[in-house]
Amino acid sequence: MDAILVVNAGSSSLKFQLFAARADGDFDCLVKGQVDGVGTRPRLKAEGLDKTPLIDQTFPPEKIPDLPAAIHEAGDWLRRTQKVNLIAVGHRVVHGGPDFGRPVRITSEVVAQLERYVSLAPLHQPNNLAPIRALLDRRPELPQVACFDTAFHRDHGALADYYALPERFYKEGVRRYGFHGLSYEYIAQRLPHVAPEIAKGRVIVAHLGSGASMCALSNGRSIESTLGFTALDGLVMGTRPGQLDPGVVLYLIAEKGMSPSAVQDLFYKESGLKGLSGLSNDVRELEKSADSKAAFALEYFVYRAGLYAGMLAAALRGLDAFVFTAGIGENSVTMRARIAETLAWLGVTLDPDANAKRGPRISGKDSLVAVYVIPTNEELMIARHTLEVLSRQRQGEPEKAAG
């Protein structure tokens, strides 16, 4: 059986899924797992097609000190237990920069290009590239494909793409890229099946998790996003501040004497819900807390989500539907209800019972805007793209990096 391994590497964890191609051209997920606590308390956990537990094993820290070791351990376990013919590995890569507008076959030259964007996504890019390098060293014959979070937004018009800076900066790649594109692309492909009546309409998708953003879809295509040059803009996130006056950066460096690396750490690791609450970056913990700062952090999250929904509705010149997805969007009944309240001016009403049951449609009968909860699946999107890249190469189609 031919299979594709999908890898999504974080700062201290490695998520993976093993997909088998079906006769209809789509995939079944054979194994879903992750290695958590890399370098501290490593733990390999995985489940099968029917969610049957397959392994739950801990390791000493020196056994899995880094992400290359995690991919080696997970790969070794998969080879020993899963009788499949691994034909390729697909990777989530957060930043494709101006050079990559669609998924590409990975080479050492591609990796060198992607390393240029480490400073634009310091929480993600280095970790995305670590297992890629490890597999290039250990399995150079195994095809690897990079799938980019920025690619889905590459068809934005110039008005959405440019910053109001001299043209030379745009040519150097200083532009609004947008992120979470694999998630938005999956939702766009699901809409014709879940909600065909609004699939070609004006839709805002809210990818709300530790990293959060919103995307405006028109006829299934991204026309605007809350994220820009880096993954710091837009909505407040778990540890990132969201929209920030650039003057704050100048003040911290010039007046407070902070180094660029200290400012980077502040913005990526100590801000957002964590910074506002002083307690946690996790919405679940903040919802349980009686602390007034936790309540303020959640109210801030809701307020900013409402503001950006208005911005995207303006970009779409109206709104037909609003979709919640990702960790908070899919699981927090309370946050969905609170955000929906901020959209009442657009004619949004919620059905409390449907919302409690996670929909998929959770809007009230009198709502002028349809509201849905649709689980995302970035890993399946990566598997599909990986197979497409292999198919293009088999047919002799030349690679085109830029979109």
From 28, 36, 137, 149, the catalytic residue: 149
Where do the DSSP E strands lie in 300-386?
321-325, 370-373
Active site residue 233: no
Q: What are phi and psi of 83, to 5 degrees?
A: -85, 75
Dihedral sign for Cα 251, 255, 258, 260, please. Answer: positive
Nearest residue to 8 via CA among 147, 186, 110, 113: 147
- DSSP, collapsed to helix, strand or coil, labels residue 19 as strand
Q: Cα(185)–Cα(179) distance, rounded to whole angstroms?
A: 11
- Asked if 228 and 311 touch (Cβ cutoff 8 Å), the reply is no
Q: Cα(119)–Cα(170) distance, rounded to whole angstroms?
A: 17
Dihedral sign for Cα 172, 176, 179, 183, please. Answer: negative
Q: Give the helix/strand (H/E) hosting 16.
A: strand 14-21
Q: How many CB atoms lie within 10 A of CB 197?
A: 11
User: How distant, in Å, are the alpha carbons of 169, 318, 321, 350, 362 from that of 373?
Assistant: 39, 20, 11, 12, 7
How many residues in total does the chain contain?
403
User: How distant, in Å, are the alpha carbons of 34, 41, 43, 382, 386 from that of 70?
Assistant: 9, 12, 10, 20, 22
Q: What are phi and psi of 54, to 5 degrees?
A: -110, -35
DSSP 118: G
State CA 374 to chain mean position distance.
15
Nearest residue to 375 via CA among 153, 221, 191, 179: 191
- Catalytic annotation, residues: 149
